[in-house]
Amino acid sequence: MAGESSRGINLSRLKKISMKKASAVDKFKIATTTGLPARFLATETLLDRSKNILPTDRIWTLAERYQIPARERPFAFDLLTGVIKRQASLNHLIEIFSGRALRQISPVLRTILQIGLDQLFFEDAVADFAAVDTSCELTRCYLGRRPVAFVNAILRKIQRALQTRNVPVTPANAQRVLPVHLDLGIEFNQPILPSPDNPVDYLSLAYSFPAWLIKRWLQRWTFHDLKPILAAANARPSLIVRPNPLKISLEGLAELLTAESCKIRILPDDGAILLLEHPPISQLDAFAQGFFQVQDVTAMALAKKLDVKPGMKILDLCAGLGTKTTQLAELSGDRAQIVASDLSPAKLEKLEQNAARLGLKSIKTVPLEDVGQGFDVVVLDVPCTNTGVFDRRPEARWRIRESDFQTFTTLSLELLTKSINYIKPTGQIAFSTCSIDEEENTQLIHKFCKEKNFILQNEHLQLPKIDPDTHRVVQTGGYRAFLFKSRNKNDDKK
């Protein structure tokens, strides 16, 4: 490799060369170069500027365009989500070790460096030399030989600065340790982070979050209590499935999944199964036969707490793809009257397909204007900022603005008010979000109950939890509340 000094390189000229050469590169050739397909796919997705589509959706279209082998796609997705989540930390380190402002580095070089660093820090299965060498080769394929020296110099400089992995983060070493897992990180031979005495700057760079959001959350949680929440946002999500009780038991599903080469762990308290290793879900025979549905345990809790019975009339007002809708049908023995509605006809169509796969016949999908009245329960899983599921939605922390909390709260209040017209006098509203922010949850619900004369039966906030063995999020964050109309004499006459 060329010399490792990143200084002395004309960054302005290098940036112009990079932009010119990147536009003329044979991308199909890179996609078939040994060691590069997954890394190329992640790079292309991060560089893609398509509007109105998230990178985590766009990657699959690009994978088809460049004919990326199926075995490479999970790794590409891990790289993509890792870089999106950790971009503030990665960019900070690039600036420290290059001695250059990020804006001086071309988008292609910056993206390749981010992917290289993600492998050095967070991909345990990738050897350090492979992370560096493939990043240099990717640079050569995109930009020619000249910029390779720059990438090689920075990555090897950072590699030499790494001292120890899986080091407990303590007050004494906090400025030298980049957090990786819940309480463990990578120690450098020099300070790389601000002092924890400045908690906003420290947490925003250590855990890669917008400073305004850290500042907001520090008004609610202590520094110590906030760190596990931020760590969970950076962890990988777990894949959890619930058995379809109309077709199979928990134990029976465990046997089927094991027979299909899945490594599993039964979660008896949740009546669910954690998939530790597995083939693609769509390729499992147990999935095709409707024996299970993918669903997080936090999302499962709402329907379980409802005590659903046959004959109940239930409206799922913001049904989406119907994960909760189908769970309600299963819990009723497929003998409730369930109406599902959503603003998206495409989602309702997929809901119908999923219900058919699960063998459910008690669900009827209708547009909002045709839902009717007299429901025992209105399930209201409202749109929100997704702050409880940042592990599953890597872009969300960068897309939301502080004003969005008020926007979603206003929308939720409108939906709650609309729900009053749909329930019986003795009915209830089952409200939920995948947010952990008080403004969207407790504050909103207490305001609604006071203004609309409702009784809050109970509420629960679930913070995200990391499995200490897998270092994955085993329970996402979210909120649920159960509301009843306050009874009066006129109600008794109805």
Six-digit token pair at 225? 């209590």
Six-digit token pair at 362? 């008690």
Report the chain's terminal Cα–Cα distance, integer Å. 83
Identify the burial level of 103 via C-beta atoms within 10 angstroms of its C-beta, where 0-12 means exposed, 13-18 middle and 19 or more buried.
exposed
Strands (E) in 434-487, as ranges, are 454-462, 465-466, 472-475, 478-485
Give me the catalytic one of 262, 318, 384, 434: 434
The C-alpha atoms of residue 133 and residue 156 are separated, in whole angstroms, by 10
Residues 6+ apart with CB under 8 A from 426: 376, 484, 485, 487, 491
Return the residue matching tokens 């790389």: 192
Indicate if 434 belongs to the active site: yes
Strands (E) in 174-250, as ranges, are 177-179, 184-188, 236-237, 239-243
Cβ atoms of 229 and 436 within 8 Å: the answer is yes
Helix/strand/coil (H/E/C) assignment for every residue in 338-369: EEECCCCHHHHHHHHHHHHHHCCCCEEECCHH
Cβ atoms of 264 and 275 within 8 Å: the answer is yes
Output b/e per residue, 16-27; b: 16+ Cβ within 10 A: ebbeebbeeeee
Catalytic residues: 434
